Structure 1
Amino acid sequence: MKQIFTLGTLAAACIIACAPAVADTATQPTASAGATSAASTSESRKLNKLADEYWDALARFDPVSAGESGDNRYADQIGMSIAPKNRAHQFALYRDYLKRLHTIRRDGLAQRDQTSYDILDYELTTALRFEPFPEHLLPLNQMDALPVTLANYSSGQQAQPLATVKDYRAYLNRLTQLGPWIDQAIANMREGMKTGVVQPKAVMVAALPQFKQLVAAKAEDSIYYTPVKNFPSGFSDADKKKLAAAYRSTIAGRLNPALKRLADFVEHDYLPACRTSTGWSALPHGMDWYLARVASQTTTDLQPEQIHQIGLKEVARIQGEYARIGPKMGYNGPASGLPTWVSEQAKYKPFKTEGEIIDVYRKLNAQLQTKLPALFSLRPKTPLDLRLEPELSRATASDHYTPPAADGSRPGVFWSVVNDPTEYGSTGMVTLFLHEGQPGHHFHIALMQELGLPDFRKFGGNNAFTEGWALYAETLGTEMGLYDKPEDWFGHLNDEMLRAVRLVVDTGMHAKGWTREQSIQYMRETLGYTEAAARNATERYMAWPAQALGYKIGALKIQELRARAEKELGPKFSLPKFHEIVLGEGTLPLALLEKKVDRWIAESK
């Protein structure tokens, strides 16, 4: 999935959440029916009012991330979440919300509202855990920079709608705010230079070319001017003329100079001050900071060493599968060499055009329409569209999913990124589509918008459930007979291997003293990556500490819960019902998910 769960913006709240104790909704005291009903109504009103305030505060604080999640109410704003005073105000709100939440009688709520109470308690507790750490002093990197995000929006095919005159004005309004945001980012980074809170040099070396490319010789050459070159046919000549003039004026007079200031600052001031260390633990209070991130991204209390060992165990298991499947593909070397061998085989790169690639995905999608009803009784009504990534953003994107808009203006979209069709590998296409398309992200995220959940649950979430579900969804290809070809099964194993390796290298770099070079070498040995691919992946994990841990930890928990239910229920076990239990209330912290599944098992017995 495209990275919408950013660290340092919405991150201080629902996106990055640790795992405080979660009350068990199955063991609450009961009251008489009449009293319970009255209390439930009163307490529920207070809870839902608080929950709505909370989400609205989040969406105003970081409107761009809210839009990525489907809430486009503030599409004309970028927010200034990196400003110290705004950040302080947001944490003050969290403290107030948490205090108010604890005045609500949890045992006076219906079970569905108890779940909302628990999630809200969980998210606010997490937000406040991050208050001591100066996330705002690291406002951008090669993976996540607001100027780049808004540049990619200029195509009109991403989360920023560009279909009406109002949409064009909203995007223009964001562009006028980008200059002040850049100046705040530079001020923050200067403060970080004084306090030792700076990015690793390798991260900013990778980011600098992006910032330089955003600086245009004249307004008409700017990527932000792209909407003017693609006016919808229904726009009047007067609107076109007025908008074109406004875009030219804003880009030339405000935005382009700010982008030049950013590129020059990064190149001449910031890069020389960047650190040569690799891991987050090298920062002031960095280990505590990393531990908070680990808890938030996995929604568990697992420690880095435990996660590291889980990763090593999974790597060994998957290499055992490589040894079994390799000979079926014509490979008889050591198991660890299988990925490299596959990457060198021309037969696994059969495409000549991008159209041939998207056609394979369309056929797979049609095949899934006939197979998924046997596995799912609960499915989203919102359609899934399949599109090729626009040329504008192909160089920096990877295949991903974007959620539907809450107002129905866009469907869920699986984006296939094709830069060179002849280099596009076929072995991973099935497992990729199950993850990014359906039943992975689409079944979870599109469904969340149809369940009648409070906005903070409809649009929010956590990484462990979101990516854990999508990685678990890949395993369902076995039941649907989609991995019968050895090369497709290898593709799935290779995808699992990547997620296992992430557990090893992320904790290795940020908690165990691994260098960037150690991570690159380990990824080359286990994944068969080229030097460039291993370097790019390593630098992603350097810039986003712990983000890559959620996938495997979440998937392993869902697999563990399914195995438990199958064992406990025997012939009573229903896979569609299990999936309904997992998906039926949207995103949950893993502790809450486990309690929900255990309650279902007990009731089913």
Structure 2
Amino acid sequence: MKHRITLGALAAAVLLAYAPVHANAAAAKPAVAEKASAKSSEAAKKQFWALADEYYDAIATFDPVGASQNGDNRFDDQLGTALWPATRAKQFDLYRAFTKRLHAIPRGKLNSGDRTSYDVMAYELKNYLASEPFPDHLLPIDQMSSMPVTLANFAGGDGAQPLTTVKEYEAYLSRLNQLPGWIDQAIVNMKEGMGKGITQPKALIEAALPQFQKLVSDTPEKNIYYTPVTKFPASFSDADKQRLSAAYRATVADKLNPALSKLSTFIEKEYLPACRTSTGWSALPNGAAWYKVRIADSTTTSKGAEEIHQTGLREVARIQAEYAKLGPKLGYNGPAAGLPTWVAQQPKFFPFKTEDEVQAVYRKLNDVLDTKLPSMFTLIPKAKLDLRLEPELSRDTASDHYTAPALDGSRPGVFWSVVTDPTKYGSPGMTTLFLHEGKPGHHFHIALMQELDMPKFRKFGGNNAFTEGWALYAETLGKEMGLFEDPAQYFGHLNDEMLRAVRLVVDTGMHAKGWTREQSIKYMTETLGDESVARNQTERYMAWPAQALSYKTGALKIQELRAKAEKALGSKFTLAKFHAIVLGDGTLPLALLETKVDAWIAATR
């Protein structure tokens, strides 16, 4: 009887024996589901990043020179064929295909950072496709940018295309050999534009023509594209020097000089006489819709031209009220609107005699900022910032600007100052200019982008509203750092703010409200006090419709978000954290930036 087990006991024993197993199985279900979910998320991540890499390479192949300028030197031997209508059509087909493939990826399976990149890609693709009906390729040159001048500015090896190795010399030579084909297609496109009434304004081509004429030389050795041969690194072997010298000489003599001569003759004899005498984009076929698309692309908003125009007028009035307070501190007691003109006439604000004196001021300011910025920023790029003068060829039409460092660290970020005549280089605007183009403006944003863990299209891409908006916002930090205690430097800050406000008025005025070039120059001269700046800037906006709208639109949004965060968080608000939130995910459309800041406020509060 000792071993007798009743049926009930057996059943109980069986239940007891299996109870732990059933419990483990129940516990295992979430673990299995969690494992499956993680596997699904990892698959979605791989799918998205593979698509993102393919998407970026498609953009970089389409515009390889743009890739070089953004710090990606993998395509330095290519010019791209974006001017060719067939290539352009294929690119838009690619955008449609990428859109379809992107939407097939389960966004909800991605982590937070990848969801942001997903949304940015969706936004970019929508913008690219919106521009398809508008033939930008029929306007391949202007006084601000063109492939021949861009490559000429690379010739010294100080720009976005490095010239330090034999391979890099060969890459640049490859681009030079492709330039005649680009010129031929540009002429074909301009002729088509002439037939369709799609040409540049005559004033812009009159300004651009001397650039192209300067590119033609009597001998190969005098040509700017031959410059690399005069700067061979000492490490090059004699054989490489001889081979490259012969190759560059042949390319310039047999291909470039004839092609550039053909281009300058065509522009002078055929294109210039056919150019339009109108000013704004609305004068082009379907120009109003074209400008609307450009506004959306530049500002990343749905704002209309009239709303932006009125914002500009309000900002102009606000800044002129600040002029009224500042004028007496500078020794000026006239009408507020006349302060810029008065400052422009005072010799004490133009103290320089040499380019080196100008650069010395920027170098000193750079050192000062190194001591002040760490209290405002926890995110600081590792890449260094170099200070250089704009190459002589493009000084007459260029504006001070920034170029990104190389991704591999071989080239720093560069602030390029445009010093055409040192005696006419005004000192009041230098602090604000450096805050914008140098640090913490473009350098802290663009160089940092390359160090963040995000797809290449994010590292090397972006939008103007965030990029220029951040740089304009960065100017305002000068007041908090005590850099505007000198009334002259504060005037320089206000004057630059005025420039950005005036841009909203004249850009929309010319391209949507029928303003003429002369009307814009007059308005800008009256508000900025400098006719040459007014003319240069007016013609810049004529060439790049809506680009100038991005600065103020972006800056006002960042200032609005900071004020919202300060009010909501009170003592929990820190400026360094706000800056880290704004910069930490790279360039974003303004709506996505606002969503991100709102989420941070909610989480912190």
Amino acid at match of 1:572: K
Corresponding residue of 1:587: 587
> 1:198 Cα shift?
1.1
Structure 1 residue matching 2:52: 3-state secondary structure: helix
Distance in 1 (CA, whole Å) between partners of 2:298 and 2:266 is 32
Cα deviation, residue 361, structure 1 = 1.2
1:52 partner SS: helix
Alignment of 1:258-337 (within 5 A): 258-337=259-338
Q: Which has the higher contact order (CA 8 A, sep 6+)?
A: 1
1-side partners of 2:272 and 2:435: how far apart? 40
CA distance change for structure 1 residues 48 and 401 in 2, over 3 Å: closer, same or farther? Answer: same
Show CA shifts across 1:92-123 (max 9, x none): 10000000001111111111111011000000
TM-score (norm 1): 0.93
Counterpart for residue 508 of structure 2:
507
Matches within 5 A, 1:54-93: 54-93=55-94
Residue 436 (1) aligns with residue 437 (2): yes
Whether the aligned pair in 1 keeps the contact of 2:144 and 2:398 (CA below 8 Å) is no
Instruction: Name the aligned partner's letter for residue 340 of structure 1.
Output: T
Structure 1 residues 458-483: Cα deviation after superposition (integer angstroms, max 9, x where no partner):
00010010000000000001110110
Structure 1 residues 418-427 or 536-545, which shifts more? 418-427
Instruction: Confirm whether residue 487 of structure 1 aligns to residue 488 of structure 2.
Output: yes
- Tell me the alpha carbon deviations over residues 259-302 of structure 1, each in whole angstroms, 9 at most, x when there is no partner: 11111111111111111111101111111010000000000000
Is contact 2:397-2:536 (8 Å) kept?
no
- TM-score in terms of structure 2 length: 0.93
Taking the aligned partners of 2:275 and 2:354, their CA distance within structure 1 comes to: 42
2:357 alignment counterpart:
356
Pairs within 5 Å for 1:113-512: 113-512=114-513
User: SS of 1:555's equivalent?
Assistant: helix
Deviates more, 1:389-398 or 1:365-374: 389-398
CA contact (8 A) 2:298 2:547 kept: yes
1:245 and 1:55 map into 2 onto residues whose CA distance is: 36
Letter in 2 for 1:144: S
Compare 181-190 and 197-206 and name the one that shifted more: 197-206
Deviations 1:169-204 (A, max 9, x none): 111110000000000000001111111111111111
Contact 1:155 1:392 (8 Å CA) reproduced: no
Q: Is the 8 A contact 1:142 1:206 kept in 2?
A: yes
Unaligned residue ranges in structure 1 (runs of 5+): 1-30
- The DSSP-based 3-state class of the residue aligned with 1:478 is helix
Would the aligned equivalents of 2:211 and 2:393 in 1 still touch at CA under 8 Å? no
Q: CA deviation at 1:49?
A: 0.7
Check conservation: 1:297, 1:549, Cα contact below 8 A: yes
Note the C-alpha offset of 1:438.
0.6
Unaligned stretches of 5+ residues in structure 2: 1-31
* Paired residues of 1:39 and 1:109 also in contact (CA < 8 A): no
Query: SS at 1:355's partner residue?
Result: helix
Aligned residues: 574
Instruction: Give the distance between the partners of 1:141 and 1:387, measured in 2 at CA.
Output: 25
The aligned counterpart of 2:561 is 561
CA contact (8 A) 1:63 1:77 kept: yes
Question: What percent identity do the matched residue pairs reach?
Answer: 68
Alpha-carbon offset, residue 34 of structure 1:
4.1
Where do residues 4-83 of structure 1 align in structure 2 (5 Å cutoff)?
Answer: 33-83=34-84
Superimposed CA distance per residue, residues 323-356 of structure 1 (whole angstroms, 9 cap, x where no aligned partner): 0001000000111111111111111111222222
Structure 1 counterpart of 2:572, one-letter code: K
Q: Distance in 1 between matches of 2:349 and 2:574?
A: 37
1:140 partner letter: I
**Take 1:389 and 1:180, find their aligned partners in 2: how far apart are those partners?**
28
Aligned to 1:600: 600
Deviations 1:395-429 (A, max 9, x none): 34332211100011101111222222222111011
The residue identity in structure 1 corresponding to 2:589 is: P
Output the CA distance in 1 between the equivalents of 2:296 and 2:560: 19
Displacement, 1:224?
Answer: 0.6
Query: Could you tell me which residue of structure 2 aligns to residue 5 of structure 1?
Result: none
The DSSP-based 3-state class of the residue aligned with 1:547 is coil
8 Å CA contact 2:405–2:447 kept in 1: the answer is yes
Give the distance between the partners of 2:351 and 2:572, measured in 1 at CA: 45
* Structure 2 equivalent of residue 6 of structure 1: none
Letter matched to residue 536 of structure 1:
N
Q: Is the 8 A contact 2:380 2:448 kept in 1?
A: yes
Considering only CA atoms, is the larger Rg found in Structure 1 or Structure 2?
2
Residue 23 of structure 1 corresponds to: none
Q: Shift of the alpha carbon at 1:45?
A: 1.0
